[in-house]
Amino acid sequence: MLEKQFNPDLLYNRVVHFYIDKKGYSKQKANEIAQLVVQKEAQRRICKNENCKHFSHDHIRNAETCLVTNCQCNEFTK
């Protein structure tokens, strides 16, 4: 099973609009929050294997195999 590819722009826009429209935050504060959220999500989706560091959508979760050619990673480490 492949994971859906991470789209930071889509997440960023959703977070900014949520905090501006629903919470009434200023544009600057909403942008700061969105940057933190996107950074945290990106780090969460990167393989923690020191030899790999590819995104989780570059791995097959069930087989725990990296799809990137010439990568020595043989399992996705959370």
Q: Report the C-alpha gap between 75 and 60 in whole angstroms.
A: 9
What are 20-76's pLDDT values in tens digits?
A: 999 999 999 999 999 999 999 888 877 766 667 666 665 655 455 666 666 666 555
> Contact, 47 vs 76, CB < 8 A?
yes
Full-model pTM? 0.67
Beta pairing partners, 55: 46
* Eight-state DSSP code of residue 6: P
